[in-house]
Amino acid sequence: MVAVVEPPVVVLAGEVGRAGGVRLCGHVQEALRDLSVLTADVSPSGVEGDAVLAGAVEAARSRLWTDLLDGR
């Protein structure tokens, strides 16, 4: 992903990202340096619970609010 998208930050989410925290992020960042000339900071997610579900709920809420204001 880093080679194609070139993100400035890679966020480790989910149970593994939360359990590994900063220490896991350091190991992943070292591995990225060994695998690619591209670099990215690696950080643990700050989102508690299911980040995908939280994002989906927020997207639906935003869409509903926009549709209500636009009178659709």
Domain edges within the chain:
2-70
* Confidence category of residue 17, pLDDT binned at 50, 70, 90: confident
Question: Which of 23, 18, 65 minimizes the C-alpha distance to 45?
Answer: 18
Q: What is the model's pTM?
A: 0.64
Arithmetic mean of pLDDT, 53-66:
92
CA distance linking residue 68 with residue 15, whole number of Å = 36
- Of the two residues 65 and 3, the one the predictor is more confident about is 65
Q: Band of the pLDDT at 42, cuts 50, 70, 90?
A: very high
Residue 72: predicted pLDDT: 63
In the 8-state DSSP scheme, what is residue 65? H
Distance of CA 15 to the CA centre of its chain: 13
